[in-house]
Structure 1
Amino acid sequence: MAKWGEGDPRWIVEDRPDGTNVNNWHWKEKDATAWSKDKLTNLLSDLKFGDTAGNALEVEEVNFGDECEAVINNRKQKLIFLYEFNITLKCSGYTFENDKVTGNIEIPNLEQQEPIEDVDIDFSQETPKSVEPKYYDFFKTQVRPFIRERLQTYVDMLTSEYSKGIVLPTKDVNSKAEQKGKVTKQTADKEVSQRSDSKGGANTGLKIATFKIELKETFQATAHDILEAFLDKPRVEAFTGAAAQVDRSKGGAFALYGRNVTGYFDSIEDKRIKMRWRKSSWPAEHYSLVDITLHEVEERSETEMKLIQTLIPSDYAEEQEMRAGWTNMYFQPMKQRLALGYLL
């Protein structure tokens, strides 16, 4: 019998983080069906839509078909996402002529092989039998794009949030991390100096083209209530329909929609808030600057918001997309779920 610490090294068991699945070689599966149904229900429930012509639609119930599932697989450190959902949203509303409408929003093919922009989202009207063309146009322009954004949010959350912990850190990864942590200050300073020299001035990182947007929105709420919608964690989770991270202090971090939106609060005042804001698809460590000012109009019991966002990376975002994002992922849900105003 070999003495303690001796023997053939091939038979010595190592203490390593991936000891239960060395190098993530074996097939590992995680069922995400229940989690997915819960997230989709939260994202699609209680939605209310309206336009200036008087058309309105409200989602009353979220139903799933019989063969719905979501699974995440890991083999050889490669994640494979498999999901298939057939969803029906029971709805009711009114046309611009004040006729009551009932029907369903049908989403028959939310599947991993279908890009979100190709997923079918259609409205099947039950009553009245004849479909008013202007009402269907309202569905196509106001309702369908918002539903599509919510479906994209679910996919992003599935791939970034629920998949955590499936791929175990390997011995090599740990060793590299340890070596990386031993980089000396002199080396880091040298790298910074080299980057600065390459730009011919201060260290500004990569030079990328950016653009700016300005938005105005009116709420039937006080400035305090609107600020709380950005700063209060329960309210943020209520209007986003998902878990969120919110540190409401100056310099505090926030993370929304499965960490697809992250940033920091730079300044918090009674009627103004400034933040660094980014999407996960943007270049690493690149933040836009968001400046929100609020003006209360007491005679109308309204608050007018002005939002200015600068340093938006042109190669990673479009102006129309950014404007629609603020409306569909912030302003409309705040009004719907936090009762901060009417939808137009």
Structure 2
Amino acid sequence: MAKWGEGDPRWIVEERADSTNVNNWHWTERDVSAWSTERLRHLLLSVRVEGPEGVCQVTDVSKLDGEASINNRKGKLFFFYEWQLRASWLGTSCSGVKYRGSVDVTNLSDENDEDDLDISVSLCKDQPSTPLLDLMRRTGIKEVRKVLGEYVHQLKSEFSQGMILPTTDGQKVPAPSPAKKNQVKTSKTQICPAPKCSNSPAPCPTGVRIPTCSFNLKETFQTSADELYRTFINQEFVQVFTRSPAVMDGRKGGRFQLLDGSVCGEFTQLVPDQKIEMRWRFRSWPSEHYATISLELEDQGDETELRMECRGVPAGQEDSTREGWTRFYFQAIKQTFGY
């Protein structure tokens, strides 16, 4: 960090009375779970559909499990939300007979577009068959999808106001459009459970001899080499793109652990903004066996090319390791930071 009055203007705070997040450089986060719960409930209770079969109205929201947050990094906003919902509906047929049922949504999240939401409608177990169920499936699901899309719109427009702070010259940075998410959808259940790696600072063991294989990957990121370098070794950045606690000692010989202990290892060589080498393992691999990972960064102006070499992967684990790096590192970083 530059000293006050010296160097990098991102760190200069004397021009702001509150000395807070000048030029929106630092990562800031706002928890919007409470607002989201109230807003989702309000929007769902507004769902009402009519048809030749009668009228159906959402009357109660019995389940709202999840969380939501808005994050600001360098003047860009990133939205994280994940919800599982259940609502009750009451239908009244043209003859005045009432029927009860439920609506379930299992995947309202920043990883899914409005059209990709899984929405199901059913009758309560003690209810006889009725054409009102067809009305809900035909029209009610469309209305539920519509109000959930409205929630996302309000989250990204109305409620995100104030996340972008004034700059050092007193001008407020216009709120940018939310960074486009990568369309690759990630699963949170891909890593098999096994004993966690040790947090001990002692050097990693040398490993065991087993048949191994190697592979190479190449990826381009829309950011500078120094920014990408920090993203891989800074604990705060890693916890954000993995969405879980992490331990990252970003120095040569420093240990790391992420994804709930599914991955751990040790940095063996660090050349700032140019190269990262590490000994790296999945916890499901044979005990104490580590692969050697080399990440070379080449700054190409507005973007950075990353070349990855992975040696010593247990035979039969090449595809899963390649996919893991692509999805849980590269795609997650792009989706989270807009790179």
TM-score, normalised on structure 1? Answer: 0.47
Q: Which protein is richer in helix relative to its size?
A: 1
